[in-house]
Chain A
Amino acid sequence: MRYMMFVCTDPEPDADTTDDAEAWVRTNDAAARRVDGDRLGPVSAATTVRVRGGELLVTDGPFAETKELIVGYDVLECADLDEAIEVARAHPMARIGRLELRPFWSP
């Protein structure tokens, strides 16, 4: 199954905040469990686009004001949720922030 893993901040990080995301990327790329992924620019650079009644509305900032911000993403290819959870738990942002696993749409 293919999962989108949203990498988010969290107001209450773990005491252990050692960060070696590079090692995580190397391991999961080598195992073909990571299809794609990247860090995102700051929220201050976000732009929100809507069309309402045919009219374009462009606003600055993210779509919702929250304390937990999406700061990156990885696309994972895993056998099932348990494997995806194991991949996510090894990511440093599991301790520093939080990770949301969302399966891709399958009809």
Chain B
Amino acid sequence: MTPAHDAVATAGADAHPRIVAALIRITGDWTLAEDCAQDALSAALLRWPRDGVPANPGGWLMTTARNRAVDVLRRAAVERRTLHELAALVPDHTDGPAQEGIVDDRLRLVFTCCHPALAPEARVALTLRTVCGVPTADIARVLLVTESAMTRRLTRAKTRIAQAGIPYRVPEGAALQERLPGVLAVLYVLFTTGYDTDGEPAFAEEAIRLARLLGSLLPGRAEVVALLALFLLQHSRRAARRDADGALVPLDRQDRTRWDHAAIDEALAALATVEGDGPYALQARIAARHATAADVATTDWAGIAHCYDALAALGPSPVVELNRAVAHGYAHGPDAGLALLTQLRAAGGLDEGVATTVEADLVARQGRAAEAAALFRRAAGLARTASERQALLVRADALHPDR
């Protein structure tokens, strides 16, 4: 990539949500806004390598997109008021918290894309497409639908926003407090879609960027800070999570020097400002204990087990419960972990593949190698992805080679 191409990518990532959000606010036309933002990027790719990168790249993109919108709307003979407002649209480049009374367009866009009256899968897709500017084909590939199905889903969501009367607004007061968790949940899904073993790492980075944006636009919200800290801590392990062949490396075998320590430091500093025990704060505190331990043996497992107890009390979920059994197994011995696992199995609802992996690990730590290997092989048969299956078979063979 040339410096000019780099400049387009960098300025585009920053300017895209700004441009789309401002054009939607004035024209109310989502598709027009996306097309014009895209046109501006294409124009930059043509012009910047030839003419040089402009002094204010984001402002250049905004002006170009705005002029394009004016052209399109003039041809469609829309009312003069819209054209006047567009003409008055000045590229604004102040970052940081929105000034008193002035709501950042990007925040409006995020809250509208994450509105609870949209289907959950539509919220994720719309946020990726409209706020992050991810091409429809890429979203379709990662969310495992065809491109035409994704195009239809996005079109339906945009139509629904107009028809159902979903406002283009950031809720205020108590309503903001009510709606923020839904927005954070979309970011969480985005991140895990990127972080999952066979996922798209770029989506994890988009989620981090969005969490940063929310944090700067809505300062002082503990759960936003906690979510960003959680993302940074998980993402800090990305380089160590796979070996040279692309196979998954479990936490206990990861080369901790390959973790992104700058990201860890940033997350720890952010987490230190968070009071209270919301779901993301608890998960971030767990991740922080892993991130600051020299190895598995010296990890603060009692602290982690305590956080999982608190998470399970907030709202029990099979994944939390299984991790709780793992943590108790390390904190209070494998017998304690197995006892908890037996209780959880009796209650039902567990993912049997993951439950068997947890059981195998605990049994291995009791010193029963052959039984543990058999359990790992059984778990491999239940694994959902090829890389998980491979990792489980490697563990089985290490304990007790299969003849």
Q: CB within 8 Å of B: which residues of A?
A: 1, 3, 78-82, 84-86, 101, 103, 106
Contact = CB atoms under 8 A, between A and B. Distances in A.
Contact of A103 (B115, B164, B167): B164
Contacts of A1: 165
Nearest to A1: B165
Contacts of B167: 79-82
A85 B164 CA distance: 11
Nearest to A79: B167
B117 to A, nearest CB: 6
A79 B169 CA distance: 12
Contacts of A86: 175
B353 interface: no
Interface of B: 115, 117, 163-167, 169, 171, 175
A84 B115 CA distance: 14
Nearest to A84: B165
Contacts of B164: 81, 101, 103
Nearest to B171: A82
Nearest to B163: A103
Contacts of B166: 80-82
Nearest to B111: A82
Query: Which 6 pairs, one residue from A and one from B, show the smallest C-beta to C-beta distance?
Result: A80-B167, A81-B165, A1-B165, A80-B165, A81-B166, A82-B167
11 contacts: A1-B165, A3-B165, A78-B165, A79-B167, A81-B164, A82-B166, A82-B175, A85-B117, A86-B175, A103-B164, A106-B163
Nearest to A106: B163
Contacts of A3: 165
Given A80-B169, A86-B175, 4 more contacts: A81-B117, A81-B166, A85-B117, A103-B165
Contacts of A81: 115, 117, 164-167
A61 B199 CA distance: 52
Nearest to B179: A82
A41 B387 CA distance: 61
Contacts of A82: 166-167, 169, 171, 175
Contacts of B163: 103, 106
